[in-house]
Structure 1
Amino acid sequence: MARPTARLTVLSGPSGVGKGTVVAEVRRRHPEVWVSVSMTTRRPRPGEVDGEHYHFVEDEHFDWMVANGELLEWAEFAGNRYGTPVAPVREQLAAGAPALLEIELQGARQVRGRAPEAQLVFLAPPSWAELVSRLAGRGSEPPEVQNRRLAIAQAELDAAGEFDAVVVNDDVARAAEELVGLLTAPPPDLRPEDSAPE
C-alpha cells in the first residue's frame, strides 16, 4: 500500500523573525494550504476571532486535552498555555493534503518527538542586527527585558541545526514561496532519486 505524500511541516524560529507574517502571506497566495489553529487558555485580544486566530478555551478543557493526549504539542508562555490539537492535523494528512504548523521552538521539539516524520523548517532573520532591530522596535521595554529577549532569541537561533531546512526571511513573498515549495515537496523516501532498487 502506497504511503500518502501529505506531510506535516512545522515552521519555527526566534521571536520577531516574522513567522506570522510569512504564514499570512502563504495563506494569501495559496489559500489551499491548510494552517493549524492553535488552542490557548489566554483571553482573546481585540479583533481576534475564535477558531480563526486561536481556539480560546478554559484551563479545565486544556487540562483534559493534555491528559487525554489530544495535543500534538503544548507550551506555556507568560502564564498562558498554547497547544496544537492533534485531530485536525491527522484529518488533514489522512485526506492527502499537507498541513502547516507555526509554533515556537519548544513545540517544534515536541512534534519531532511525537511525529519524527514531520518536516521542521526554521525561519531565520537576514542577520542578527536585523533581528535585534525588529525586537527592539516592539515597544519601550526596560533594557533588562530587551536583554532577556535577545538572549532567548540567540539561543533559538543556535537551534537552527536541529531543523530539516532553513528559510531566510529577507523578503516575505520569497520566503512564503520557498516555504510552500517545501510544503508540497514529496517526503525524501518518496522522491524519484531515492526509489531506485538496491
Structure 2
Amino acid sequence: MTDRIDSFLRPSVPRAFMGVIVACVAVHLLTLSPALREWAMLHGALWPQLLQDVRPMFPGQQVTMFLTYGFLHGGLLHLGMNMLALYVLARSLSVAMRGGAMVALYVVAQVVAGVVQLWLSDSPYPVVGASGAIFGLAGAEIAIAARIQLAKGGSLRLLAGPVLQFVLLNVALTLAVPNIAWQAHLGGALAGVVIGALYRPRLRR
C-alpha cells in the first residue's frame, strides 16, 4: 500500500514521452549513415521551400513535415540537450497535467513552432529538432504555476526567477549555437503559455 502511495506522489514521465525519447534516439542512430541522413532530411525536415514552388518528395509532405522535423536532430549534443530537457519537463509537468493533455500540448506546440519559424525566418535552411515542442512544455508549466499562485492568493514574484532563467536560456542558446531556430522556440513557448493558461490543472495531493 505504501509503495502505491509513494508511486502516486512521485512525478513520473508519461510513457508517450519515453516513447518520443526512444524514437528520437533511434532515428538519430539510424541516420548516422550519410545516405540515410540525407534521405531523412529530404523527407522529414521542415523545409521553407515546400510552401513555395519546390515540389515535395511525396504527396502531403508540406503537412507531415510539421510533425516529422521534431524527430530529427543536428547532432549528438543537440539530441542530448533536447532529450534531457524533455525528460525533466515531462516529469515535472505530469504533476499538474494528464498524459493525454501533455501529448496534445506537445504536438500543438511543435506545429505552432514550425509555423512561427517559417513565418518569422527568411532562412532557406531546413529546420530540425524537438526544441519548439519542449519550449511548449516549459511555457505551459510556467502558465500553470502562475494560475496556481493566483488561485492561492499568492504573488507572481515567485515565478520571476524561473521565467528569467527560461528567457536567459533561450538567449544563451541563440548566441552559443549557430543557426538555432529561436523563432521556433518562441512559437512553441507561446503555444504552451496559452494552453497552460486555459488548462485546468490536476494536482496530486
Q: TM-score, normalised by structure 2?
A: 0.27
| Length-normalised TM-score, structure 1 | 0.28
Which structure has more helix as a fraction of its residues?
2
